[in-house]
Structures are given as structure tokens and as C-alpha cells.
Amino acid sequence: MDRLKVGYGDRVVIEELTLAIEAGEGVALRGPNGIGKSTVLRCVAGLLEPAEGEVRVGGERVDEREAGFRRAVAALLEPPAWYPGLSAREHLTLVRMANAPIAEDWFADGELAARLGVDGFADASPGSLSSGQRQRLALAMVFDRPSRLLLLDEPERHLDQEGRATVAALIDEYLGRGGAALLASHDPTVTAGCEIIELGLDWADE
């Protein structure tokens, strides 16, 4: 992203943000609530136009209407749209079917369900799950998608320490596969392998 400017209405919260993330690198945005961390992620995901500046993924301008961009970027920025008639296991099956063929060096079929504990409620519908269980399922779904850029907004939400450690390990493995990650998180476990970018009102007004 180059000279990004974002805000809410007439209020500018981030100005002149320039950031490059290479393959194998993870970056975590930190800062007070309302400073624009989620807004930056939404701009990178192509869900929001910045007030100024531009965002490129793989050298191409962000456009979430393009199939190539959607294949390159996997994002968990807000709760997914659940299918009421499908179980947790069937949600994961649908993700893998929609992204087939999946390379042999990606996460194996069923691996993420086991590591994130989804196996324990695999036959339940998402609507019947607790907030923590839904977060584990959503994380399994986003990691199951082969991608080159991972966008996560507070992935530690509703997770216990064991779950946070699992997410940190998965991010590390994702980076080891040559992916890049941008997340908004204050959790030191989740962000252990990431460069930390502090966003604050004083910084934004410089």
C-alpha cells in the first residue's frame, strides 16, 4: 500500500501509510480502538476504497471483482455468512470443493479441523455453536483456502490461550509456505512472528 489515507466521514484517522509486505512476511497492526486498523484491512481486501493512495497485491491494483484477486487473498474480517443447512464439517468441505484442486503442499484435508478443535463439533450447525467454536470454524475455513495473502482482524477473538497458540502456529506455517499476512491484533502470542506496526492518533496526525 502506498500513501494510504483512511477515515470515517470527515475524520481522517490514518494518513500517508506506506507499507510493503513480501512473501513469507507477517505484519500486525496495533493501536487504540477506532484508529483504523480494520479499515486498512478492508481496503486491502478490496471492500473499501481509501480516501487517497492505492493498494496493490502481487503488483496489481486491488479489485475484489477479479477472480485472480479472490484466489490470491483469504480474509477473515467479520463473521462469515453461514449456511443454516450445513454442518461445520460440510462448511469446510464446501471451501475445499470451491478451491479445488488444492496443492499437495497445502494443509491436508481434515488437518485444520483437527488442530483447531472443529472435530469436536463437526456435525453441529454453526448457529448452534458458541462464539469460540464459530471462531475456530471460521479460522479453519480461511486457512483451508489456498492463498498468497492472509488478512485477519483480531483472529484471537473468543479463543483461549491454547487456541491462540494454535493460530500463531498456523500463521507461522502459512508464512513458511511463502504466503504474506496482515493482521490487526494486540495479542502477543498471535503476533509473535510478525513485525509490529503501531498506529496511534499522534502518529496519524504527523
d(CA 74, CA 94): 15
Between 131-144 and 88-98, two packed helices, what is the crossing angle to 10 degrees? Answer: 20
pLDDT value of residue 49: 87
In a domain, 181, yes or no: yes
- In this structure, of 57-66, 107-116, 170-179, the range with the lowest mean pLDDT score is 57-66
Asked if residue 53 belongs to a domain, the reply is yes
Q: Tell me whether residue 102 is in a domain.
A: no
pLDDT band at 204 (very low <50, low <70, confident <90, very high): very low
**pLDDT band, residue 66 (cuts 50/70/90):** confident
**What confidence score (pLDDT) does residue 83 get?**
93
The verdict on residue 75 lying in a domain is yes
Whether the model clears a pTM of 0.95, i.e. scores above it, the answer is no
Residue 14: inside a domain: yes
Q: Could you list the residue range(s) of the whole structural domain that residue 26 is in?
A: 2-83+138-204
Q: What pLDDT was estimated at residue 206?
A: 36
Indicate whether 133 belongs to any domain: no
Task: Give how many domains the chain has, as a whole number.
Answer: 1
Distance of alpha carbon 206 from alpha carbon 133, whole angstroms: 41
Q: What is the mean pLDDT of residues 167-182?
A: 97
Q: Identify the residue whose cell numbers are 473499501.
A: 48
Q: What is the pLDDT of residue 51?
A: 84
The answer to whether position 13 is within a domain reads yes
CA distance 183 to 166: 16
Tell which wins on pLDDT, 31 or 118.
118
CA distance 166 to 84: 27
Looking at residue 121, what DSSP letter applies? Answer: G
Spatial separation of the C-alpha atoms in residues 63 and 54, rounded to whole Å: 11
Structural domain includes residue 108: no
Q: What is the pLDDT of residue 82?
A: 94
CATH code where residue 53 lies: 3.40.50.300
- Measured CA to CA, the distance from residue 54 to residue 43 in angstroms comes to 9
**Of residues 26 and 62, more confidently modeled:** 26
